[in-house]
Structure 1
Amino acid sequence: MSKLESQSHQYTPYDQIDKEQLKKDIEEAKETIGAPSEEDFQHLLKMERWGRIATASGFALILIIALMELSAGGISGFVFWPLAIVAAVLISTGNVGRWANVTHPVLHGAYDKVPNIPNKYKKKYYAQGSRRYLDWLDWIKPDAWMYEHNIMHHYHLGEVDDPDNVERNMQWLIQSKTPMWLRRIFVYVFAGTWKFTYYAPNTLRILRNKKLKEDNKMEILDYEYDPRKPFGFELWWDYYIPYFSVHFILIPALFLPLGVSAVITALIVLVIAEFFANLHSFLVIVPNHSAEDIYMFNEPYKGTGEFYLRQIMGSVNYNTGSDLIDYAHGFLNYQVEHHIFPDMPLSFYQKTQPLIKDICKKHNLEYRQESVFKRMSMTIDLMVGKTKLLRVDGV
C-alpha cells in the first residue's frame, strides 16, 4: 500500500481494536505452524554457512592480493582497490550475517526447543564465557546485548524505557541549532561507526543501570569513556579491547609470513569491512521502528493482546521473498512477525508472514512493508528532526 493510499484509508483506532480477539487470532496462527523442528535448525545452519563462506572468501581474496604483491613486487591501485573493496564487502557481509542471521535468533532462544540440538546453539551456552571468541566476537558483549535487546527493547517497544527509541535518543541533535544539512552529515558518519559509538556503550549502560536499580543506587545517565573510571574501564576492557585486538591486530598479524605489506593490506581491508558492516547493520536495524508512521506509547502495555497490537503498530517490514533477500536483510525484514514471536526460528517468520498479514486485514490494522532504502530515508528525517513518531492519545 502506498503512503497516499495509507493516508486515505481509515484504520481502526487503537482503543477500538478487539485486543482479545487479536490475541486469539495470532496464537491460533502460531499453532498452525507448529513447534521448532530439525528443518528449522537446518535452515539456520544454511544461513550460518553462507556467512562463513562470505567471510572465508573475503580473507581468501586478501591472500590473493598479498601473493600478487609478493610475486610482482607490488600491484597498481587500479587492481588493488577493486579487489580490496570486494574483499571488504564479503567480510562485512559475513560479519553482519553472524550477528543478524545467527546470533540474534540463537540469543532469543529460537532453537532451544529443537530436539537434540547441540548446546552451542542454545541461548544458555552460545557466546558465553570463552565461547564469545568462537561464537560471536564483536564490539558488543553478548550478555549486555541480550538484556538491552531481548528485554528492554522487545518488551518496552516505543516506550520511554525502550533503549532504542531513536527519536528520544536523538533529542540532543533535534533540539540543537545545528543546520539541517550538517545534521544529515552527522547521521551518515554515525551510521559508519554506530556499533562501537552507540551499541557497545549503550548496552553496557543499560545493563549497569539494571544492576544499580537492583541495589537501589542512582542510574548512570551518560556514557563514560574514561578508562580510569569504572564504566569506562569496563567498556574498554570487556567491549573494545577484545574485538579490536583480535580483529585489527591478531588477524592482520597472521599475514606476516607474506611480508609487512600483506599485514598492511589485511588491516586496510578489515578497516573498510568494519565501516561497511556498520553501514549494513545500521541500514537493516534502525528503520524497523523509526519513522513518521510508527507509533510510540506513554504507558506500559496491559495484557498479551495489547502487546501484539503494539508490535504491529510499532514495527515495519522490508521486502521479503527468498532466503537470499532475507539473508541480506538479516531476516529483520520480518520485524513485525519477529516482535510478535521473538523466540521463534528464522524460517518460522517466512511461514507466518502471510497469516499475520491476513490478521491485520481482518482487524483493519496497517501492516507496513516497504523497501529498506525508503525506510532509511524516512528514518533519517526522524533523526534530524524533520518528522516525529506518531503518538497514541492517552497511551
Structure 2
Amino acid sequence: MCFPSKLKEGNLVELKKEDEWIGELDIAAFREDIKKLGAELEKNQGSDDVRHLHKMIMWSNLCGLVGFATMGLSVNLLAIVGLSTFTFSRWTMIAHHICHGGYDKVHPNKGRFNRFKFAVGSLWTRYMDWFDWMMPEAWNVEHNNRHHYNLSEKEDPDLVEENSIGVREYEGPVALKYLNVFMAMCTWKWFYYAPNTYKELKLAKMRREGIPIPEGVNPADAVTFKNFFSSKGTGCYSFWELFSVAFGPYL
C-alpha cells in the first residue's frame, strides 16, 4: 500500500487507467502534508472542542433517558429512536473520538476523557462511559491498531470485501443472499464484532507476552459466533470467557 508504482521487491505493478494517478503520487510529500495538517489542527484545539464533547454527551444522555423512560409503554417508535440514537452516538460520536486520543491534550479531566482511561479498567467505568456489546479494550486494539494500521488490506479486520466473501461467492438463490445481509444488519455487533474484537485483544496480549499464536489460528481470519459451533472453535478463547467479560454484562 505504501509503494503504489512498485512492489517492495521492486517488481512493477500494472495499474488500472483510473488508478494511474497513484503512480505519480509523491508519497513522501503527501506524508509531510498530512503531518503539517495534523500539527495545524492540533494547535486549533481548545475549550470549544471540550464544550462540543459535553454537548454531544448531553444530547446522547437525553436520548437514552427518553428511550428508557418510554420503553415500558409497549413497542413504540419514541423508545426505539431514543435508545438506538443513545447507543449509536455513545460509540460513534463520543467513544470513538475519545478512544482515538482526540481529547487527550485539551480536556481538563485527564482521568476520564483520555484514550487510556475512557470506558476501560472496570465494569463500572465501562457502564458509565460506553456500554455496548463489545469490550472497549478489545475495540481499542481492533480498531485503533489493527484497522487503522492496515486500512483496506488483508490484515484489516474491518475489510467488508473480505468479511463478506461468503455471501459474494455463494451460488444459491439471490434472495438468500439478501436474507443473509439483512440478518447481518440485525446481529452484527454480537455475532461478529464482539467476538472478533475480543480475538484481537487476546492475540495482542499473546504477542506482548511472547506467547506463540496457537497452531491453526490465522490472525487475519474473522472470528464470529459460528466459531463456537465448529470443532475448530476460536483457537484462543472460549464462549464462556467471551460471555463473562464482553456481552454477558451488557445483557
Give the TM bin, normalised by the shorter chain: 0.7 to 0.9
Shift of 1:46: 0.8
Alpha-carbon distance in 2 for matches of 1:225, 1:238? 16
Alpha-carbon distance in 1 for matches of 2:109, 2:189? 30
State yes or no: 1:217 paired with 2:220.
Answer: no
Q: What is the match of residue 28 of structure 1?
A: 36
Of 107, 111, 114 in structure 1, the residue corresponding to residue 106 of structure 2 is: 114
What is the DSSP-based 3-state SS (H/G/I as helix, E as strand, rest coil) of the residue aligned with 1:14?
Answer: helix
Shift of 1:93: 0.4
Alpha-carbon distance in 2 for matches of 1:37, 1:163? 33
Shift of 1:12: 5.1
How many residues were matched structurally? 218
What does 1:89-128 align with in structure 2 at a 5 Å threshold?
89-114=81-106, 116-128=108-120
Distance 1:26 1:140, change over 3 A: same
What is the DSSP-based 3-state SS (H/G/I as helix, E as strand, rest coil) of the residue aligned with 1:161?
Answer: coil
Of 57, 61, 64 in structure 2, the residue corresponding to residue 52 of structure 1 is: 61
Q: What is the match of residue 235 of structure 1?
A: 242
Shift of 1:32: 3.6
Shift of 1:118: 4.4
Distance 1:16 1:238, change over 3 A: same
Alpha-carbon distance in 2 for matches of 1:182, 1:190? 12
What does 1:321-360 align with in structure 2 at a 5 Å threshold?
none
Alpha-carbon distance in 2 for matches of 1:230, 1:119? 31
Letter matched to residue 28 of structure 1: K
Output one character per residue of 1:13-65: Cα deviation in whole Å (capped at 9) or x when no partner: 212101222223333333443253121111111111111111111223236x3
Shift of 1:188: 1.1
Q: What is the match of residue 383 of structure 1?
A: none
Q: What is the match of residue 163 of structure 2?
A: 169
Output one character per residue of 1:329-357: Cα deviation in whole Å (capped at 9) or x when no partner: xxxxxxxxxxxxxxxxxxxxxxxxxxxxx
Letter matched to residue 107 of structure 1: C
Unaligned segments of structure 2, at least 5 residues? 1-16
Q: Which has the higher contact order (CA 8 A, sep 6+)?
A: 1
Distance 1:54 1:156, change over 3 A: same
Shift of 1:232: 1.2
Shift of 1:176: 2.5
Unaligned segments of structure 1, at least 5 residues? 1-8, 66-79, 245-395
What does 1:1-395 align with in structure 2 at a 5 Å threshold?
13-33=21-41, 34-62=43-71, 65=73, 81=75, 84-114=76-106, 116-128=108-120, 129=122, 130-213=124-207, 214-218=210-214, 219=217, 222-223=223-224, 224-225=227-228, 230-244=237-251
What is the DSSP-based 3-state SS (H/G/I as helix, E as strand, rest coil) of the residue aligned with 2:71?
Answer: helix
Alpha-carbon distance in 1 for matches of 2:60, 2:196? 26
Scaled by the length of structure 2, what TM-score is found?
0.78
Alpha-carbon distance in 2 for matches of 1:165, 1:234? 26
Scaled by the length of structure 1, what TM-score is found?
0.51
Letter matched to residue 110 of structure 1: G
Preserved contact between residue 133 and residue 194 of structure 2 (Cα < 8 Å): yes
Task: Provide the alpha-carbon RMSD of the alignment.
Answer: 2.4
Alpha-carbon distance in 1 for matches of 2:129, 2:46? 22
What is the DSSP-based 3-state SS (H/G/I as helix, E as strand, rest coil) of the residue aligned with 1:99?
Answer: helix
What is the DSSP-based 3-state SS (H/G/I as helix, E as strand, rest coil) of the residue aligned with 1:192?
Answer: helix
What is the DSSP-based 3-state SS (H/G/I as helix, E as strand, rest coil) of the residue aligned with 1:56?
Answer: helix
Output one character per residue of 1:268-323: Cα deviation in whole Å (capped at 9) or x when no partner: xxxxxxxxxxxxxxxxxxxxxxxxxxxxxxxxxxxxxxxxxxxxxxxxxxxxxxxx
Alpha-carbon distance in 1 for matches of 2:128, 2:241? 21
Alpha-carbon distance in 2 for matches of 1:211, 1:118? 25
Output one character per residue of 1:361-392: Cα deviation in whole Å (capped at 9) or x when no partner: xxxxxxxxxxxxxxxxxxxxxxxxxxxxxxxx
Distance 1:32 1:12, change over 3 A: farther
Letter matched to residue 238 of structure 2: F
